[in-house]
């Protein structure tokens, strides 16, 4: 009996067994954490799925196919889960080297703005990114122009008869750091804005227009 008791005590103090138990517990906690995060992302996507679809359909009704901005899946640009990114790169949006819209660009943005205003109760924030031509190797980004382009869109959105609230807008200049794949470095479709809609229960105010 004394020998058996001694062996049992040695087993209970075995550091390898304790280390294995601790490692197993850590792995289980990590697996549980990852599963929780993935579930939260999936729930967020499903929660705002109907709102995203309704907005997409409204854009398709308001803007002709050849002028309509491209909808980019949020995972491509690491946007928040469930958000929408609209890229205005289907045509030349700005006059060369400036933050002035082309006539077509201004008209399309006005139509997009009216949809934004009507569906304001489905999203929390509108983030506007300005872009320039790709930056040449060794060159400097034109941050000022990129920021001015984002601001030009924000000013247009807040000056319409059915205006967006400035409180729900954010602007950023990306310079030439995010060129469009497949276009030459001089293609002016790089000179664009991209708009990210972030959905949330804490939404903006919809407009009757």
pLDDT digits (tens, 9 = 90+) for 22-31: 777 777 777 7
The 3-class SS string of 134-167 reads CCCCCCCCCHHHHHHHHHHHHHHHHHCCCCCCHH
pLDDT digits (tens, 9 = 90+) for 118-140: 888 888 889 999 999 998 888 88
Tokens (6 digits) for 200:
């949330």
Secondary structure (DSSP) of 40-61: HHHHHHHHTHHHHHHHHHHHHH
**Do residues 109 and 153 touch, judged by C-beta distance below 8 A?**
yes
Alpha-helical segments (H) within 48-122? 49-62, 103-118
Give the pTM: 0.74
The pLDDT > 90 percentage for the chain reads: 51
Name the band, by pLDDT with cuts 50, 70 and 90, for residue 162: confident
């Amino acid at each position: 009996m004394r020998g058996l008791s001694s062996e049992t005590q040695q087993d209970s103090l075995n550091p390898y067994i304790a280390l294995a138990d601790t490692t197993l517990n850590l792995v289980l906690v990590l697996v549980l954490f990852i599963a929780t995060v993935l579930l939260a992302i999936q729930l967020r996507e499903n929660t705002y799925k109907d709102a995203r679809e309704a907005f997409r359909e409204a854009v398709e009704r308001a803007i002709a196919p050849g002028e309509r901005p491209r909808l980019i899946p949020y995972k491509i640009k690491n946007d928040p889960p469930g958000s929408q990114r609209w890229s205005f790169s289907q045509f030349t949006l700005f006059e060369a080297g400036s933050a002035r819209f082309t006539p077509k660009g201004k008209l399309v943005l006005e139509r997009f703005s009216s949809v934004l205003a009507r569906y304001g109760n489905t999203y929390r924030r509108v983030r506007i990114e300005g872009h320039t031509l790709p930056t040449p190797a060794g060159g400097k980004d034109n941050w000022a122009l990129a920021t001015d382009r984002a601001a030009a869109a924000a000013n247009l959105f807040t000056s319409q008869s059915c205006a967006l609230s400035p409180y729900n807008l954010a602007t950023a200049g990306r310079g030439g750091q995010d060129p469009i794949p497949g276009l030459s470095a001089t293609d002016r479709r790089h000179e664009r804005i991209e708009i990210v809609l972030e959905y949330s229960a804490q939404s903006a105010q919809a407009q009757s227009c």
